[in-house]
Chains A and B, each alone.
Chain A
Amino acid sequence: MIPALEHIPSGCAAAGIMNKSGIRISGDAIMDMMSVMHSRSNGLGGGFAAYGIYPETPDNYCLHIMFDTESAKREVDSLIEENFIVERQEKIPTKIINEIKDPPLLWRYFVLPKPEKLVAKNMHADDFVVKLVMLVNTRIPGSYVNSSGKNMGVFKGVGYPEDIGRFFMLEKYGAYIWTAHGRFPTNTPGWWAGAHPFSILDWTVVHNGEISSYGINKRFLETYGYECVLLTDTEVIAYTFDLLVRKHGLPLDIACNVVASKFWKDIELMPEEEKKLHTALRMTYGNLLLNGPFAIIVATNNYMMGLNDRIKLRPLVYGKKGEFSYLASEESSIRKVESNLDDVYSLVAGKPLKVEVNKDVCA
């Protein structure tokens, strides 16, 4: 190799695929997409989110949990038993491969909160689940909830993403939305729970970037009851969307105007009503602005969205072919699985790109 052209690996890789009519595809395609971007990761973290993978139990929350020790699992088990009706629980199937070393215990629980608990606590089921997730993550050492949504799950760990995918045998799952991430960790050591996606309920976030505002994002979220424990800035993004969209009922594009807020100079030029709104958003949620470079892919059961920071310091490309939409850090990654695209372009700074599944897919 000519030394001058030697590739200097940097950043992370992110990718997503969505089929609009809810046709479920295997994990092969997303693993392919990630393998093209191999050198954007350094083997210290990879992961996937998959939507529509548990069609037989669509109404149960599925908790994907990793445990460092048997005793941590026993503690969580009794907590779950106490609070939830457990429809089914099992070890998450994995395959032994050389590349993946020393995995934690990986389990999934299909659950519903006990009605009497909800009444006693006067809580909505979603809030109850969030509370339990926070409790497990913060109070039971060695246990982390990787995902807690319905009909979806997060598979992640330490390794290159395509190896993590093989380890979890993602080719055997069918999902209508896949997102994925390969890490090049800079601010936290590589550890299983620290890999992306980050998730709460059915929100998942994969993120390429480093949030310079992490300190205050975290403190702001704490005042709204979110506890950030995973030593990474991506966690705050998942909680931010949960707070703004689920708890405060804001439309997703407005939530995007919080995390990538409009510049004052542009707000100044808006018509009166719009100006009032954007001024109020900044005044209220200014601390949730994600400052610093980021390209994120946010997904839920019914859409996938890409968003860049407001001065576009990280790449993110959109591609479309028929009913399939793609997002990726590099165009090559999309071309790898679909060379004949109807449309392809780079996302604009601070402007969300959201693709939704048809209404009947997850009614």
Chain B
Amino acid sequence: MSVLDKLLPEFFIKVDRDLCIKCGQCVNNCGFSALLQDKDKNVKPIHEKCVACQRCMFVCPTKAIQITKFPGTQKHNDYWDPEYINNIKKQANTGGILLTAAGTDKLHPIIFDRLFLDACQVTNPSIDPLREPMEIISYLGEKPIDIAIEFKDNSYILKNKLKPNIKLSSPIIFAAMSYGAISLNAHKSLARAAKESGILMNTGEGGLHKDLYEYADNIIVQVASGRFGVDPDYLKRAAAIEIKVGQGAKPGIGGHLPGYKVDDEVSSTRMIPKGTDALSPAPHHDIYSIEDLAQLIASLKEATDYSKPVGVKIAAVHNVAAIASGVARADADYIVIDGFRGGTGAAPTMIRDHIGIPIELAIAAVDDRLRKEKIRNKVSIVAAGGIRHAADMAKILALGADFVTIGTASLIAMGCTLCQKCYTGNCSWGIATQRPDLVDRLNPDEVSKKLVNLIRGWSLELKEIMGALGINAIESLIGNRERLRALELSKETLDVLGVKPAGR
């Protein structure tokens, strides 16, 4: 190996010889084989292999092991970031595409952090969610434009026939993450937590494993361009169906599940041969236009007797408002808009970090457009991509979304440390992997509880925020931009958001 082939490690593993009791736990737990023990049981780090998944630091009983950034410095350069230099060297070695995972880690402006919520003082009272009802039940699906009523036998009878809607106890959905990209235990945890919390999980594009059939009422099944695992039974074993057109982390790009993650179970669930790469094409090859999408929506509804909502997921791209309008008119019942911070199990770095627009702007633009065209009732709007906490959720709802999906946040609740190495299949936390030794670490009994807690915590926080706003029903928060103010955002951004600057 020539010195030119070499890369400096990104991380540096320090083992404190005084503290280490040589128990070997770190070595056994490292999914990336970055730690070995010599014959005297001394821990030997291989710095180049470390991805800072942090598993060793969590398991070490004496806190003898620490991961730090590689301390060797390079000449400081604000423009040529060390990451870019390293990447060029990697590509000079291999001639390949840079791969990464999770949501973009780049410091693009964060609009969420420039938005502030309102509260009541004096002129209207705030409401105490511990003492008063605080309603966050939400319905996913198309709503009527008006209500028709008949007066019969001394009572009012509803004359509308409502389109299928799903009732959620909180406006949160676990984001689409496929079995294959993540482990079966991770999928089971999500399904159980969705059921217990009264919300939904999304299968992603990898089909539905038979162990999850019992959770059908809390599952959205995805139909993506690879059509993995799609057959009539799959469509029937779900509360809703979602056509995946795009993903915020990789708009315009298909999926790629490497063959080494396709074991027996993944192969039968996806209905593909074991060990083959599962490649979903960039576009759906039966959707080259909006009318093609309308046909697929109609077919899926026909196939399921118009009994469940059919949604469409698109990435937040420049023209998202017009696209969403088309999707609503193509008879989708809900639209997921995935912002540029959305996560992924594998994506080309250039795509992840440079394509798409922020979810805050996309939701504002879509909500405005659908209202202007008087078709807002036709779809629920679901905001995806980069929702970090309950305040982000409250803000995006106020901008106009009906629901949020949480992917990265739910992974973190399951143990993920955002090392961004999901595509390697070595996830030390048993999430983004199919290696049996790693998958076994993730216990659905334990992890589903964490997810339930997360949903509970965020729901309570949402209620607190609503209480401060003097609002006791989520319908009064959604699209209520009057209760947001912005700090240091440009006039143009304010204009798109429909939000006033703080102080006005």
A320 at the interface (CB under 8 A from B): no
Interface residues of A in 174-216 (CB under 8 A from B): 186-187, 209-210, 212-216
Query: Which of B123, B371, B472, B481 is the one whose CB lies under 8 Å from A210?
Result: B123
Interface residues of B in 123-169 (CB under 8 A from A): 123-125, 127, 132-133, 135, 137, 139, 143-149, 151, 155-158, 160, 162, 165
Q: Which residues in B have their C-beta under 8 angstroms from that of A283? A: 139, 143-144, 162, 165
A273 at the interface (CB under 8 A from B): yes
B377 at the interface (CB under 8 A from A): yes
Q: Which residues in A have their C-beta under 8 angstroms from that of B133? A: 263-265
CA distance A284 to B473 in the complex (A): 14
Could you tell me if B147 and A293 are in contact, using CB atoms closer than 8 angstroms? no
Q: Is the interface of B mostly helix, strand, loop or mixed?
A: loop
Which A-chain residue is minimally distant from B157 (CB atoms)? A273
**Residue of B472, B476, B477, B482 with most chain A CB atoms under a 10 A cut-off:** B476
Q: Which residues in A have their C-beta under 8 angstroms from that of B478? A: 216, 286-287
Could you tell me if A292 and B144 are in contact, using CB atoms closer than 8 angstroms? no
Which B-chain residue is minimally distant from A294 (CB atoms)? B124
A281 at the interface (CB under 8 A from B): yes
B471 at the interface (CB under 8 A from A): yes
A335 at the interface (CB under 8 A from B): no
Q: Which residues in A have their C-beta under 8 angstroms from that of B139? A: 283
B461 at the interface (CB under 8 A from A): no
Query: Which of B132, B162, B473, B481 is the one whose CB lies under 8 Å from A215?
Result: B481
Q: How far in angstroms is the closest Cβ of chain A from B126?
A: 9
Interface residues of A in 78-126 (CB under 8 A from B): none
Size category of the binding interface on chain B: 35 or more
Also in contact, A280 and B371, with CB within 8 A (given A215-B480, A254-B149): no
Q: Which residues in A have their C-beta under 8 angstroms from that of B476? A: 212-213, 216, 286-287, 289, 291
Q: Which residues in A have their C-beta under 8 angstroms from that of B127? A: 311
Question: How many residues from A make CB contacts under 8 Å with B?
Answer: 45
B374 at the interface (CB under 8 A from A): yes
Q: Which residues in B have their C-beta under 8 angstroms from that of A287? A: 475-476, 478-479
Could you tell me if B146 and A284 are in contact, using CB atoms closer than 8 angstroms? yes
Q: Which residues in B have their C-beta under 8 angstroms from that of A277? A: 147, 149, 156-158
Question: Which of B's residues lie within 8 Å of A, judged by CB?
Answer: 120, 122-125, 127, 132-133, 135, 137, 139, 143-149, 151, 155-158, 160, 162, 165, 371-372, 374, 376-377, 469-473, 475-483
In the complex, 19 of the A-B residue pairs with CB atoms within 8 angstroms, ordered by the A residue number, are A210-B123, A210-B124, A212-B469, A213-B480, A215-B481, A215-B482, A218-B482, A223-B371, A223-B374, A263-B133, A277-B147, A277-B156, A280-B162, A282-B475, A283-B144, A284-B377, A286-B476, A292-B120, A292-B124
Known interface pairs A212-B120, A280-B158, A286-B475; 5 further A-B residue pairs with C-beta atoms within 8 A, sorted by A's residue number: A212-B469, A212-B483, A274-B156, A277-B149, A284-B143
Q: List the 7 shortest-distance A-B pairs measured between CB atoms, nearest first.
A: A215-B482, A286-B475, A213-B476, A291-B476, A215-B480, A210-B124, A212-B470
Question: Which of A's residues lie within 8 Å of B, judged by CB?
Answer: 10, 186-187, 209-210, 212-216, 218-220, 222-224, 247-251, 254, 261, 263-265, 273-274, 276-277, 280-287, 289, 291-293, 310-311, 313
